[in-house]
Structure 1
Amino acid sequence: MNRQKFSGMKANFLQRRYAVSLGRRYVLAAASVVLFGVLGCSQVSGNSNALADSKVPQPELPLQKKTVKLDTKLVSSHNKFGFKLFSEILKQESGKKNIFISPSSLAIALAMTYNGASGSTQQAMAKTLEFQGLSLAEINSNYAALKSLLENPDTNVQLNIANSLWVNKDVSLRPDFLQRNQEFYKAKVANLDFQSASALTSINNWVNDNTRGKINKIVDQIEPNQVLFLINAIYFKGQWSDKFDKNQTAEYPFYTASGQQKPHSMMSQTGEYKYYENEQFQAVSLPYGKDGKVSFYIFLPKQNSNLKSFYQNLNAQNWEKWLTQFNSQEGFIRLPKFKTDYEVTLNDALKALGMQEAFSKQANFSGIGKSLAISQVKHKTFVEVNEEGTEAAAATSIGIVATSLREKPEPFRMIVDRPFFCAIRDNQTGSILFMGSILEP
């Protein structure tokens, strides 16, 4: 066979192979489009209670997490808000009990709500949430990217974020508000009859499912003028990169803030850790999973100091500065096993941070609907730390009510001192039995 003929056969073979490969790619692409279409429809219209529009477009999910771009400005604002809110909660709790919050859960739920804020209400929320310098489009697209990057970062680390909107069936909300929450926050949207006892059960069952049973209730009651609940749920479970040996766990004294000594089950371990120490505290990072993409940070005030002094310096700026000073170092750590849950209503804390208007009759949530205000921001968390790792969950509920239904009308004056019309009506059937015009009584 001469060389020219052989080259021609080889070229034909490569062309056929490329055509087959290209055909396969088109088949895969078509399958992806169909899959996204099914997901887009089933999210809303697959539920008999689901809200209206099954044609809401769903964004394409990134094929690889590393292709997702996240603006660091959003993470910075996210953290600043978290530290500010934590500081405000500390003031209100006055060091009386354990506090454990999820800034991510709170920020996401409030960001969903922010999509419906307008005017001075929007400006106040932007200041509280540290959104200055970020457009609404940037906020939404970055939260979508953040969700994609956060979820399940490691085979030994499980992190799930779920969002939902629960709408009273008699209420019509702005379609663009619903669409943005579905598109960027992957929010489940459902219509419920808020007068039915099953509505409360449906909402709390969703929270229970999405926190793996760690938080079984977030909404206690539904007010008569309730319009909407925006809810975020986060579930986390991570195994330590190096698990603690249960045989090393033993009882040691734990000293409370009041100086009282209590025996407590403590885990012990020696190894190499990211560590930082200064005159006020020691700090260590305990990683989860194979790659250590998520870590448990512990800051321990020294014996000549205390948590109150530490909290005076705890803010987003110092946090970032401290993190840059962690270095690998051999050491020993003894850590208490613990399990706790926490519940807080954040109306007062958010008002103190500048969001008073959002809770008032002057609130402007015209991007959601007419005459609406936030009635309650409720937050619940759970955390357990043991030899295996950490399990934690959080749920945040933001209740929206109709302000017009809460307002009492101005007292009226009606002086019937001139000719008038009157009627007698059967209200059960609507039939007018008598009517008349009285010119002179």
Structure 2
Amino acid sequence: MKQKFGSSWEKFLQRRYAVRLGRRYALAAASVVLMGVIGCTQVEGNTKVYAQSSVPRSESLAQKSVLPDTKLILANTKFGFKLFEEVLKQENNKNVFISPASVAIALDMTYNGANGSTQRAMAKALELQGLSLQEINSSNAALKQLLENSDPEIQLNIANSLWANQEVKFNADFIKKNQDFYQAKVTNLNFQDPNSVSKINNWVSESTRGRINKIIERIEPDQVLFLLNAIYFKGKWTNEFDKQQTVQQPFYLTSGTQKQHPMMSQKGKYKYYENEQFQAASLPYGKDGKFSFYVFLPKKNSNLKSFYENLNAENWEKWISQFSLREGLIRLPRFKMDYEITLNTALEALGIGEAFTNQADFSQMGQNFQISEVKHKTFVEVNEEGTEAAATTSVGVTAVSATVNQQPFQMIVDRPFFCAIRDNQTGSILFMGAILDP
């Protein structure tokens, strides 16, 4: 049974996050989310061209927040695991790789336009209850600044943009908030011009270093706005795998069959945790290990389905807090994948259904708008050198337990596993996935 947060547990987590925020961190991945907003009726009037905000960075509202509110990071973690659960229902027995951070940012941008029952439903689904709009926006601005402040061996870029139909009028305050807090590039386009599609996709490709080249196929007649987020991450392992140690070995699929696959091997000291259900290890990136790749491998008497039954924000924090340094051997499959999903069904299951109907209230954005679709694309490659990830739309300092009398562990990741890329300073989960077949 999944456990829900109690107020005392939330306060405990918030204190843990506050400690983490005093450190820096790094990560490698990329993600892209697409929001299509449609008008229920034609909106009259011409819109002036919205240039990027003329407010200097030093004077921008985003600069008022120095550190992100720990409540926002906690909200994002809860939302991320809820979203992952719903995506798994759609993608039965398939590889899954999403960026909950990317989806949350894109929806937070859209949230600035919501009002009434639509706003309340989005707040509940995104776990934003108890946070004011000002707190949400300021914390997102501070988190972006903090995440992008990485070491030379880590590339992390978060980009946002709005693409508006030039024939439709949007509330100036909605546009300005997305410019000030999310540093969103705002562009007015002629949606009748076929070249508008390529202009949007070119931005996606540039923002993800060419790893994701396309997020939209066409612009439907009733679509008036696209809100996009892109995250790109590339990081080298703190200790790279020796390519000469990579050999073809069996990987056991869910069906019970096996395939030969390149398996990377390495010995050393790792932050490691084990219980009756699974083994887990943290592989750091960069010189300081500010970001890490977490691998959770169900034991042979268990499986990913049983693991998912206990996968929630509360248990995640309990597990992470119990990692300790251990000598051991890790054998990890090399893998590379592209992933794509439309998130409408998952988001409706989380309670945002109204936003996709003509009952939607986005009056803070303009008149008579609803969401048409939320698309998500990701790319990830894990090899001997490190990790590269991208998407269009993831702590604390654990006590190092004594290792006296502990035997070196062996973690042979030769069967389906769960993985995540996490910022070890704030606890933000940038990517998470289930690899059933590398």
Q: TM-score range by the shorter chain?
A: 0.7 to 0.9
User: Aligned-pair distance for 1:221?
Assistant: 1.2
How many angstroms does 1:68 deviate by?
Answer: 2.8
Pairwise CA distance, 1:59: 4.0
Report the Cα distance in structure 1 between the residues aligned to 2:89 and 2:150, rounded to whole angstroms.
Answer: 34
1:381-420 CA distances to partner (integer Å, 9 max, x unpaired)?
0000000000000002xxxxxxxxxxxxxxxxxxxxxxxx
RMSD: 1.6
2:117 alignment partner, SS class: helix
Distance 1:231 1:316, change over 3 A: same
Match of 2:254 in 1: 257
- What corresponds to 1:71 in structure 2? 69
Partner AA of 1:346 in structure 2: L
Measured in 2, the distance between the counterparts of 1:70 and 1:373 equals 29
Distance across 2 between alignment mates of 1:236 and 1:53? 27
2:289 is matched with 292
Instruction: Specify the code of the residue in structure 1 equivalent to 2:164.
Output: V
Structure exhibiting the larger radius of gyration computed from Cα positions: 1
- The one-letter amino acid paired with 1:89 is V
Cα separation, 1, equivalents of 2:52 and 2:289:
40
Q: What residue number does 2:389 align with? A: 392
Q: Indicate which of 86, 89, 95 corresponds to 2:87.
A: 89
Contact kept in structure 2, 1:128 and 1:355, CA below 8 Å = yes
Aligned AA for 1:197? Answer: P
Q: Contact conserved, 1:50 with 1:190, CA < 8 A, in 2?
A: no
Change in 2 beyond 3 A, CA 1:295/1:122 = same
Distance in 2 between residues matched to 1:89 and 1:152, nearest whole Å = 31
Q: Is the 8 A contact 1:238 1:289 kept in 2?
A: yes
Highest relative contact order (Cα 8 Å, sep 6+), 1 or 2? 2
Q: 1:149 to 1:253 in 2, by over 3 A?
A: same
Q: Which residue of 2 aligns with 1:141?
A: 138
Asked if 1:157 corresponds to 2:157, the answer is: no
Q: Which residue of 1 aligns with 2:235?
A: 238
Change (3 A) 1:50 1:240: farther
Change (3 A) 1:61 1:335: farther
Q: Which runs of 5+ in 1 are unaligned?
A: 1-48, 397-441
* TM-score using structure 1 length: 0.76
What whole-Å deviation, never above 9, does each CA across 1:364-393 have from its counterpart, x for those lacking one?
Answer: 001111000000000000000000000000
Identity of paired residues, percent?
A: 66
Note if contact 2:52-2:185 (Cα within 8 Å) is conserved in structure 1. no
Equivalent of 2:377 in 380, 390, 401: 380
Q: Distance in 2 between matches of 1:195 and 1:144?
A: 33
4+ residue runs over 4 A deviation: 53-56
Choose 143-152 or 99-108, whichever is displaced more: 143-152
TM-score, L = length of structure 2: 0.77
Give the structure with the larger helix fraction: 1
Aligned AA (2:181) = F
- Deviation digits for residues 22-80 of structure 1, max 9, x if unmatched? xxxxxxxxxxxxxxxxxxxxxxxxxxx99336664244289xx9x93121110000010
* Cross-structure match for 2:55: 57
Number of residue-to-residue matches in the alignment = 344
Q: Provide, for residues 167-217 of structure 1, a one-character-per-residue CA deviation record: whole Å limited to 9, x for no partner.
A: 001011100000000000000000000010110000000000000010000
Structure 2 unaligned segments of length 5 or more: list them.
1-46, 394-438
User: 1:174 — aligned with what?
Assistant: 171
Tell me the amino acid that sits aligned with residue 390 of structure 2.
A
Which of 315, 318, 328 aligns to 2:315? It is 318
Indicate which of 218, 224, 243 corresponds to 2:221.
224
Deviations 1:248-277 (Å, cap 9, x if unpaired)?
110110000011110000000000000000
